[in-house]
Amino acid sequence: MTSAWLGRLAGGVAELLLPQRCVVCGGFGAALHEECVEALPRAAGARCPRCWRPGEPALCVRCVGEAPLLTGVDALRAPFRFDGAARGAILEAKFGGVTALLPPLARAAAACVPPGWDVQAVVPVPLAPRRERRRGFNQADVAARTVAGALGRPLEPLLRRDRDTAPQSTLGAAARAANLAGAFSARGVAPARVLVVDDVTTTGATLGAAAEALRAAGATRVYGLALARED
């Protein structure tokens, strides 16, 4: 019995017992170690407190102007930039089905919700039913469940996606908003202050469209939370 063979055997047993390897450090034990979350690219530094654009310590020029980038949601937060290992982790969760990557990211997201928002419910952005059936899960659901738990607020899947839309990533800013018009509707009555959760945000158009449906259902304040923002 050679030591190389023994090494392979030990490696194989480890793979069986601990199949997950961390996307950041490559170590065993978790899809993403809690300590490795710290190594992900943070959406740090000065940011517009409303739309979360970088480099703006106060309300940004877009938010004080007549054509704000962010519509529908009152304000937006995301703990990470959609870049590097954060981008890798989210894509691996979404398309590789490694949903275990989402809770550590979502706990970081919950930690950047300002206490003053005082939300009464956490609502995931739904996928179109056909897309969710194909994927087997909705990454925003998984993230929102963790956020709700961390904030001690109920998870309320109040939204329905009434029609499938072109992937937002294929469109420019103006087309993104048009693409989503009327895409969501709410079931039942929404509480006054709601947090709507998605995996990634760029212009906030998806969160904004979801927020409009929640306002139509009675919400007066709708805040947006994503795991990462594409700056």
Q: Could you list the residues that contact Zn ion (CB under 5 A)?
A: 22, 24-25, 27, 33, 36, 48, 50-51, 53, 60, 63
CB of 158 to Zn ion, least distance (A): 26
Partners of 201 in beta bridges: 229
Question: Looking at beta carbons only, is 53 or 153 nearer to Zn ion?
Answer: 53
Question: Looking at beta carbons only, is 50 or 94 nearer to Zn ion?
Answer: 50
Question: Looking at beta carbons only, is 63 or 207 nearer to Zn ion?
Answer: 63
CB of 43 to Zn ion, least distance (A): 13
For residues 151 and 174, what is the distance between their CA atoms, to the nearest angstrom? 34
Buried b or exposed e, range 105-122, using 16+ CB within 10 angstroms: bbbbbbeebeeebebebb
Question: Looking at beta carbons only, is 22 or 207 nearer to Zn ion?
Answer: 22
CB of 55 to Zn ion, least distance (A): 10
CB of 49 to Zn ion, least distance (A): 8
Q: CB neighbours (10 Å) of residue 103?
A: 20
Distances from the Cα of 159 to the Cα of 37, 134, 137, 187, 214, angstroms: 30, 19, 16, 6, 8
Q: Are 27 and 21 in contact (CB under 8 A)?
A: yes
